[in-house]
Structure 1
Amino acid sequence: MKKYLVQFKPFLIFIGTFFTAYIVLTLLYKLYLNTFEPNEVDGITHIVGRNVEQLMSMFNCDIKIQKSITDSWLDVWYNKKYIIRIVEGCNAVSVIILFVSFVLAFSGKFKTTLIFILSGILLIYALNVARIAMLAVLLFYFPEKGHFLHGTLFPLVIYGLVFLLWVIWVNKFSKYAK
């Protein structure tokens, strides 16, 4: 048994670190979400909605994002037409938690790891804001493509970015890069 523990030690450390980081970050996020009333939109989702509105306003889009009167999401109106809603799951925090957990599991030097994590979080967040803005515009013009756009194309883009960041991290910066 000891032989196998020694042989698989790097893998076991990776799995242990990944799941520990993932569980801790997910629990912290859940504690944060629990500070909001059931019909209230959380602060991060509010910021995402505000950033989507700011981005689209830069392009002179007729955009209005407001809290739903009845539920815990933000209604997105584009060209005076209700298009989509931004729910808590649209704020990319779960994707960021997955990204951070993986990078920590393959950590390198502290400063490099911290800079890569912060840069990755900003990149994922910015792509997510752009994703929601593009989704609103595309759904206005192509409502029949909603399932493909929301369920396939845009998850592929955001998870593709995370995968690309992981590949860069493992090959260039992690302790296993050599």
Structure 2
Amino acid sequence: MQSNKTVIIFLIKFFGTYMLLFLIYSFYLSKNQKTAAVLACAPITKTVAEQSQFLLNSVGFNAEIEQHSSEMSIKLFINNTYVARVVEGCNAISIIILFIAFIVAFASGLKKTALYILFGSLVIYFINIVRIAVIALAIYKYPAYENVLHSIVFPGIIYGITFLLWFIWIQKFSKLKG
């Protein structure tokens, strides 16, 4: 019976946190994305695109971005070649929400949980910036592999990092550690 109670509490905490954060993020998007005559991505998506551009420029590539004129995305160019588009799903917020919901479901004291959420969210966010820059560069250099890079390799990186952070949380910090 105790085992079932633990699972039910986990599910309530996980889905409750996920739904709350998802609703907050959806509200943010509804107030910050413009879909009328002039398209404009939410500020967080634009910031992620700008930071990816900065990273590419910092390592010696001529990267530029611009708001797409006919869809809700930001175009990313390397050496004047359009290589990728940054959409709302590329900003890692949905993955960070999933990460936070899991950590809250296995909370281990307010301070420890809050610090790990902050640390993990920043790791996911910055790995995502690197991921976007590297995928853009890889597509620029190896356009024939775009589908494999975008659909398999790079999602594996971001989800792999998230899983690793969850694993570390369970093993080192949560109440369930051995």
Whether TM-score is above 0.5 comes out as yes
The structure 1 segments of at least 4 consecutive aligned residues displaced by more than 3 Å after TM superposition are none
Aligned-pair CA distance for 1:69: 2.1
Matched, 1:19 2:15: yes
Gaps of 5+ in 2: none
Identical amino acids, percent of aligned pairs:
37
After superposition, give the CA deviation of every residue in 1:126-168 in whole Å (9 maximum; x if it has no partner). Answer: 0100000001110011111111100000111110000000010
* Pair 1:74 & 2:74 matched: yes
**In the aligned structure 1, how far is the partner of 2:176 from the partner of 2:70?**
50
Which residue does the alignment assign to 2:34? 37
Q: Structure 2-normalised TM-score?
A: 0.95
Match for residue 134 of structure 1?
134
Cα displacement (A) at 1:97: 0.5
1:1-178 counterparts in 2 under 5 A?
4=1, 6-35=2-31, 36-38=33-35, 39-178=39-178
Give the structure-1-normalised TM-score: 0.95
Equivalent-residue separation in structure 1 for 2:166 and 2:83 (angstroms): 33
Cα distance in 2 for partners of 1:7, 1:143 equals: 50
Residue type of the alignment partner of 1:33: L
Aligned length in residues: 174
For structure 1, the 5+ residue unaligned runs are none
* Structure 2 letter corresponding to 1:49: A
Q: SS of the residue aligned with 1:61?
A: coil
Counterparts of 2:61 and 2:54, CA distance in 1: 10
